[in-house]
């Protein structure tokens, strides 16, 4: 059965499988086709989700410009639909693509928007990931105190901490006590 005859849902599953197997070229082609088929079927939300998946895949392929191009505007689609969680994820994907282009201050702003939206939606796990990205960017841009605060908040939102994260948490708590 060729791709045209397959459902976009099936193509999306195949794309996810290809992505998990690090076959990014195949994953990108499948996400793009699935997105086009969802668009043709009038399912704008799923088309936007496929664009976000494609963006993440393109970043893995070191195509930051392409990643940003395909994800631009998807946050507005989710916002218009009242889907705050997917709006936040789209904003985070945009931030990652902007960061990969070296536009750090702009990426930091976009990550902060994503964090605020994730807080609103209650997605603690994804917010933790975004806060870690914010912390890393703050370190890169010379904002050490803000980076510590962001990382502390990120660790608060994780349900299970690795050994490294537990040690980091302990160091951050010690630092906070010393700063008082």
Residue 90 binned pLDDT confidence (cut-offs 50, 70, 90): very high
Does the pLDDT of residue 126 top 50, yes or no?
A: yes
Contacts of 24 (CB under 8 A, 6+ apart): 18, 57, 60, 61
- pLDDT tens string 22-53: 999 999 999 999 999 999 999 999 999 999 99
Q: What is the pTM of this model?
A: 0.80
pLDDT score recorded for residue 140: 82
**Structural contact between residues 146 and 131, judged by C-beta atoms closer than 8 angstroms:** no
Residue 173 binned pLDDT confidence (cut-offs 50, 70, 90): low
**Structural contact between residues 18 and 30, judged by C-beta atoms closer than 8 angstroms:** yes
Q: Which of 138, 155, 136 is nearest to 146 (CA)?
A: 138
* Comparison of pLDDT for 169 and 62, the residue scoring more: 62
CA 118 to chain centre: 11
Does the pLDDT of residue 132 top 80, yes or no?
A: yes
Residue 74, both tokens: 């998807």
pLDDT score recorded for residue 1: 39
């Amino acid at each position: 059965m060729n791709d045209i005859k397959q459902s976009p849902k099936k193509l999306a599953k195949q794309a996810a499988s290809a992505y998990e197997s690090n076959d990014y070229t195949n994953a990108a082609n499948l996400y793009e086709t699935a997105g086009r088929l969802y668009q043709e079927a009038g399912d704008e939300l799923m088309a936007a989700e496929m664009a976000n998946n494609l963006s993440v895949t393109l970043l893995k392929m070191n195509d930051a410009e392409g990643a940003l191009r395909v994800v631009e505007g998807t946050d507005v689609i989710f916002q218009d639909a009242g889907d705050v969680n997917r709006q936040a994820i789209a904003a985070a994907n945009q931030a990652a693509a902007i960061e990969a282009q070296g536009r750090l201050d702009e990426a930091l702003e976009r990550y902060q928007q994503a964090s605020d939206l994730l807080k609103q939606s209650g997605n603690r796990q994804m917010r933790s990931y975004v806060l870690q990205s914010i912390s890393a960017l703050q370190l890169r841009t010379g904002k050490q105190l803000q980076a510590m605060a962001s990382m502390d908040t990120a660790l608060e939102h994780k349900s299970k901490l690795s050994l490294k994260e537990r040690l980091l948490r302990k160091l951050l708590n010690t630092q906070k006590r010393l700063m008082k």
